[in-house]
Structure 1
């Protein structure tokens, strides 16, 4: 079917994908905007995972930052990419800004699950195991309950596993993969620091 420039623009506004990809997606889905958008998001996620899997070094980047309007809360975060060209793009800088704003709002403690110290994980596991056993659950059931509760706990403290503050249908990890697919380079979220008045007391 013929696809109009207006339809292509509408899909680009929703997904941020290139015009050719938008045109093809609309043609494949008979002009259905929602279906085409879902297809492009899935494609971006897959392409992003492929790029991240190549293990290319990411030594360029920017320091994303966020300062709350009352000057009582601020975040800085290191976001890396492969080239200074991508680091200078509005898309990459917007991603870094989004991550800083998300950290300000959601207060993660670690970037990824592997960053959580083992002794902290063990202590949290013991708490949930004792609670499950106190509830009268058999040990083999209690262990499954612990695994589920730990996953919920990781979602609270690990940045990559949190629901994105601007779109809670995706995690930060998924948002990163989509951005990787858009810019065509590996992206890493590095160190971050969140400062709030009163936290240092």
Structure 2
């Protein structure tokens, strides 16, 4: 078997994003022929697609497509390593899919996977990239906001990697500065719901039960329980609902108050961070 140059191994890894040992073996099998080694890795990757289903795709990126001031989409596309996350092919796939999402507005991930781009389903595009890059690649979630005025924000935690955090904020009327401020606030403070009214009943009841149990274990008087629990619920709203959070740029005001003073209403938001719920 032919010996290989480590510079060629490195180059092959940069081109294919395959593992170092896989690249070395492919070059040995190809007797140093670079193009043949690329083909060997492509074939091997296609054969291994099914084997990757049980593996965890916890890295990836957040892709944004802002079609206009009133239409935008976010996509979380996952892979296994940050090496693949920064690969050009992976990032190109994310851009293609998020553009498709804006154009077609699919109802959910299964519908998206069965839809077609250039004569192939999105699932087929994922499988081909999976085979080429040698990792499990999957769409975790996406969102489309349409109507009003939409501000967007992407954040990179590492300048060498693609964005791993993205936010969309929908206002009822155009105000770019406020939309940007609230989007950046949302990125930093990670609200779960827009307002207290948006919290699902089962979530609220679960939190209420936890606070009640906590208060009882603290030995508080039974007659005082409702008031104490309600106070803690209000504190939870201030922590986890966007409009009641203290605004990061002026903690004396809530986000809702900032919007009110600007003459706008926050209608919706989406916050995606790779690997988080």
Give the structure-2-normalised TM-score: 0.44
**Aligned positions of 1:180-195 closer than 5 A:** 180=263, 187-195=264-272
Q: C-alpha root-mean-square deviation of aligned residues, in Å? A: 1.7
Pairs within 5 Å for 1:138-157: 138-157=221-240
| Equivalent of residue 63 in structure 1, options 150, 157, 164 | 150
How many residue pairs match? The answer is 127
**2:166 is the counterpart of 1:74:** yes
| Higher normalized strand content (fraction of residues) | 2
Match of 1:131 in 2: 214
Unaligned runs of 5+ in 2: 1-145, 158-162
Instruction: Return the offset for 1:197.
Output: 1.9
- Write the distance in 1 (CA, Å) between the matches of 2:206 and 2:233: 11
Question: Which consecutive aligned stretches of 4+ in structure 1 deviate over 3 angstroms post-superposition?
Answer: none
* Rg larger for: 2
| Aligned residue runs from structure 1 range 44-123, under 5 A | 61-70=148-157, 71-81=163-173, 87=174, 92-123=175-206
> Where do residues 17-36 of structure 1 align in structure 2 (5 Å cutoff)?
none
Unmatched runs of 5 consecutive residues or more in structure 1: 1-58, 82-86, 181-186
Structure having greater relative contact order (Cα 8 Å, sep ≥ 6): 1
Q: Secondary structure at the match of 1:99?
A: helix
In terms of fraction of residues, the more helix-rich structure is: 1
d(CA) in 2 for partners of 1:94, 1:157: 23
1:147 and 1:155 map into 2 onto residues whose CA distance is 13
1:10-48: CA deviations, max 9, x gaps?
xxxxxxxxxxxxxxxxxxxxxxxxxxxxxxxxxxxxxxx
Tell me the secondary structure at the aligned position of residue 136 of structure 1: coil
CA distance in 2, matches of 1:114, 1:198: 27
